[in-house]
Chain A
Amino acid sequence: MLQSPIDRIASATPPAVAARVKGLSDRAIAWLFVAPSIVLLLAINIFPLIWTIRLSFTNFRVNRPNAQVEFVGLRNYINILTDSDIWLSMQATAHFLIWTIVLQVLIGFSLAYLINKKFRGNDLWTTIIVLPMMLSPAVVGNFWTFLYQPQIGLFNYVVGFLTGSDPSSFSMIANTSLAPWAIIIVDTWMWTPFVMLICLAGLRSIPPSIYEAAECDRASKWRQFWTITIPMVLPFLMLAVLFRGIENFKMFDLVVQLTGGGPGSITELTSINLKRAAFEQWRTGYASAYAVILFVTVFGLASIYVKALNKVKQR
């Protein structure tokens, strides 16, 4: 007689093990399965978070193992929030965050809209467009430094060719006005395809019948776009903004490779600033407080945003 897989597993279970498991409730077995994940989560996420919060109230420095660790209360938090350099760093991060999201949403949605139309070579173009996001950010940062090189860089050459100016007359990375835009351009180049893919998923999820009904009602293409396409893609777009927002708030590798935070501190985003405090100056307590402030900021903003996203979805 043929046995089901479950029967086979049951009969293969050693009697000693079966006896031990026999008395367990479904709930206990469920906990048994979930426990490893919870232990792992506690060990690598929750415990470090609690430890970081604890350190943030001390003057601990990891490179001074022999020094006495003192409780300093809110001093680290006050020092950070009253430091003008940190606020400049926050401004640089906000500038980077806002512009990358605006550009990536606009270009990403436009590309998705175009790619969604049926045309010859559609799949090939989709593949080509998504290539940048498959590269390592460190590699992208590195090769864009060559593209931005004033004497041999392709970017400068193209700008020079289009404007008739001397390509070596400007440097995207060395100029304080251009450097913030240099990092925005590279991030947009790299991550617009990601936004495009999410928008494409949104566009393809709209049932054709809705457009057909609109056609029957003689709605114009423009009206269809604003009353069908945009509202139905909006939850997807908002999700893309959330992902890119969180990612760019903690942007590090690409910008370090491109500008190292310079010229001066113009492109020193909060993550770079934090890394310097934690692993170059070794101010562990101070850096922990800084990390907590950033965590609360991003967590708070993301929570508000997710609530808004849920409201949009329910509409």
Chain B
Amino acid sequence: MKSLLTSSALAAGMYVAVSATTVSSAEAADLTLCWAAWDPANALVELSKDFEAKSGNTMRFEFVPWPNFADRMLNELNSGGKLCDLLIGDSQWIGGAAENGQYVKLNDFFDKEGIKMDDFIPATVVGYAEWPKNTPNYWAMPAFGDVVGWTYRKDWFARPELQAEFKQKYGRDLAVPRNWAELTDIAEFFQGREIDGKKVYGAAIYTERGSEGITMGATNALYSYGFKYDNPEKPYELEGFVNSPGAVAGLEAYKKLYDCCTPPGHSDAYMTEDVDAYKSGQVALQMNFTFTWPGINADANVGGDKSGYFPNPAGPDGVQFAQLGGQGISVVAASEKQAEALAYIKWFSQPEIQQKWWKFGGYSALRAVVEDPSFASSQPYAKPFLDSMAIVKDFWAEPSYASLLQASQKRFHDYVVANQGTAKDALDGLVKDWTAVFEDEGKY
């Protein structure tokens, strides 16, 4: 009997202890931050240790590989899931998340904490934080500036024999291209060439079909050739802007680059595939988001002086734009730990933390960091990054962005990779698809 009493008391004691632990851990806010699984996410884990030490909160991270990131996170938001307290979501999600009440509006918080959007790179504020665009309604704080740019094999460009051959063939130096025509020439020059006993190819570009790859790639050519999403004077008027002669020429230029100068089998490539092609020494040029640049710079095979970086080149008329990437950090409306999540954003906004963020490999969007005189020379890719951020343009951020994106993915891939129809057909089809989406949205 005594032993029974003793064991019952022990069991009760253990139950109380376990319950107390559960309660105390619930009180000591375990914050979960959701983001894509990529190099900057690892840098953020390191950076966040400072927040944990200062706040006493524990940070947990949910990182999802890029091809599944949108599916996974939008499912989470749409179902009112409580997995994420903080979400570093893609710029295009902002419209839907704002209109459907999935993000917490941050205006009052910014005012209270003295966080000013003027302190961030303007393009990142418009791209990552505002909805509706160009209005002071903030749903995120710019967290990671990113844009599509180019990497090139500086060591190959510097070879005298290649320099001479290129000059003889094209009548100019083998150097960073100023426009898309020059870029294609360079890619063509390297395509199938043997360098150090290895067959190499011209360029690794975005061609992925499943998520957003080919759209994030082709738009770089389209923008620089004159493509516009709609009539600047009359929103949602697409005819003559999406399928303008310039836009058609831009899509043709992208297809030409794909046909002439990509490695064999490069038909479903996005960020990872492009990095792999470049780091393995297969290609002379690589299109990719600038987040890949620190990794390339540090790479044993192609890093350091072997690689150079440049912004997306201009089109035939000197117009120059690049596809915006990057994300803002938001507080998820379904979270029960909004106060702690806001405290994280407050901590993250501090200039010294942003400075550290850049040092760890995260692209800060804070002007105090990027406008510091030492910034441009701090890394070989710092200046090309700044130059690229000055020419950004983003895809639709409408609540219906997913339908708009799926339409462009299909139209671009059908034409560029699957050889179906002409560029004009593809863009006319895109006008039709996008018009149907906007009609459905009641925009007309």
Contact = CB atoms under 8 A, between A and B. Distances in A.
A148 B266 CA distance: 12
B413 A263 contact: yes
A85 B414 CA distance: 12
Contacts of B96: 63
B21 interface: no
A256 B402 contact: no
Interface in A118-177: 148-151, 168-169, 171, 173-174, 176
Given A63-B78, A263-B417, A264-B413, A174 B267 contact: yes
A279 B413 contact: no
Interface in B343-359: none
B406 A168 contact: no
Interface in B255-308: 263-268
Contact of B267 (A168, A171, A281): A171
B208 A176 contact: no
Nearest to A85: B410
Interface string A240-263: 000000000000000010011111
Interface in B63-82: 70-71, 74-75, 77-78, 80
A266 interface: yes
A65 interface: yes
A265 interface: yes
Closest 7 CB pairs of A and B: A264-B418, A174-B267, A150-B264, A264-B414, A260-B210, A262-B209, A150-B265
Contacts of A63: 74, 77-78, 96, 100, 399, 402
A149 B265 CA distance: 6
A176 B418 contact: yes
A64 interface: yes
Contacts of B78: 62-63, 65, 282
Nearest to A67: B100
Contacts of A174: 264-268, 417
A64 B399 contact: yes
B173 to A, nearest CB: 31
B265 A151 contact: yes
A66 B101 contact: yes
Contacts of A62: 78
A262 to B, nearest CB: 4
B264 A259 contact: no
A150 B265 CA distance: 6
Interface in B389-427: 399, 402-403, 406, 410, 413-415, 417-420
Given A263-B417, A265-B410, A171 B209 contact: no
Given A65-B80, A169-B264, 15 more contacts: A64-B100, A65-B78, A148-B265, A151-B265, A171-B264, A171-B265, A174-B267, A260-B210, A260-B268, A261-B209, A262-B268, A262-B417, A263-B268, A263-B418, A282-B403
Interface of B: 70-71, 74-75, 77-78, 80, 96, 99-101, 208-210, 263-268, 399, 402-403, 406, 410, 413-415, 417-420
Nearest to B440: A59
Most chain B beta carbons < 10 A, residue from A149, A169, A173, A176: A176
Interface residues of A, number: 31
B100 A65 contact: yes
A169 B264 CA distance: 7
Nearest to A145: B268
B420 A279 contact: no
Contacts of B265: 148-151, 168, 171, 173-174
A313 interface: no
15 contacts: A85-B410, A150-B265, A173-B265, A174-B265, A176-B420, A259-B268, A260-B268, A261-B210, A262-B417, A264-B209, A264-B414, A264-B420, A280-B70, A280-B406, A282-B74
Contacts of B418: 176, 262-266
A59 to B, nearest CB: 8
A85 B425 CA distance: 15
A223 interface: no
A282 B268 CA distance: 24
Contacts of A85: 410
Interface string A193-228: 000000000000000000000000000000000000
